[in-house]
Amino acid sequence: MIRSMTGYGRKEEGKGSLRLTVEIRAVNHRFSDILVRLPRAWSMLEDPVRKLVAQSVRRGRAEVNISVEEERSTASSSLTVDWSVAEQFVLISREMNERFSLNTPLTAKDLLLLPGVIHTEDSNEKEGEDISEWILALVESAAQDLSSMKIAEGNLLEKDLTNRLSQIRTWIDEIREHVPQVSEEYRNRLQQRIAEMLSQVSFEWEPQRMAQELAFFAEKSDISEEVIRLQSHCLQFAEQLEQEEAIGRKLDFLLQEMNREANTIASKANHLHIQHLAVEIKTELEKMREQVQNIE
């Protein structure tokens, strides 16, 4: 199964007064590189987040942006009274009034201003206990979205590559049909040219030596081995398309080898139609290589 290196995954969710957003962008890259951006308070989650995303990014560069924001409109704080502390302040106040003959009663307003009587508890403090699990769960969900997009795009790439490969195989079959003719036509042309040259000179040419030279030059124009290797590379390419692992580099290597064989065929075959087909194959291979650059 082909997977594209490019994709996008995003999840957003609110809990209490907090809103968590996870965004993952994947782009082409020669190796696997995952960059994680987290709020400082949860920086200890960087490695677990990277491991989660790595399950969806086998090759390519992925940027993971995680933000935790407080929704001010819904933020709430609760006030609690430490009655034991308040009672101690009241008792101390009464004792001081009696001891020093004072008449300054302690009011509720006074108590509220004394340290330790009132405690403010932010609702986020209660929610903070499971923030880490929440972040990791949302990262996993966003990574699944990313995988879905990479697979969908990979299916399109596979279909395009399969169609182009099929066309190349058709051209190779057509070239193979002409292979026996290439050496024979080349030999005949050489023989004709040599005969024309010999007719203009006075010395005699040994027939056996002439046959050997003709066979040597005709062999240099033989492209049967290149055609067989090109067919083999096409078969390997088709087999790689069925693999589950990251295959981008292997496909790129095979395309380079296929292009090398097509170049050799075009240069060796002194045959106009075969040269034309070789150029068509090279053009199609270049288009395939552009597509392969997007594959994991």
Rounded Cα gap, residues 103 and 101, in angstroms: 7
| Stretch 10-15: mean pLDDT | 92
Neighbours of 213 (CB within 10 A): 15
| 50-85 pLDDT per residue, tens | 999 999 999 999 999 999 887 655 445 567 888 888
Q: Which among 251, 91, 93, 83 has a CA at the least distance from the CA of 161?
A: 251
> What ranges in the chain are assigned the alpha helix state H?
46-54, 83-99, 108-113, 123-127, 131-198, 207-220, 224-240, 248-268, 272-292
Residue type at 127?
E
Instruction: Work out the average pLDDT over 222-235.
Output: 93
Residue by residue, DSSP assigns 83-117 as: HHHHHHHHHHHHHHHHHTT---PPPHHHHHHSTTT
Q: Which pLDDT does position 51 carry in this prediction? A: 95
With 50 as the cut, is the pLDDT of residue 125 above it?
A: no
- Could you read off the pLDDT of 90-113 as tens digits, one per residue? 888 888 888 888 787 778 877 777
The confidence score (pLDDT) of residue 57 equals 93
Between residues 269 and 67, the one the model is more confident about? 67
Other beta carbons within 10 Å of 97: 14
pLDDT at 177: 87
pLDDT at 280 over 90: yes
Mean pLDDT of 189-215: 61
Closest to 92 measured CA to CA, from 109, 71, 114, 77: 114
Report the pLDDT averaged over residues 16-33. 91
Name every residue whose Cβ is closer than 8 Å to that of residue 106 and which is 6 or more positions away in sequence. 89, 90, 93, 94
Query: What are the tokens at 158?
Result: 């596979």
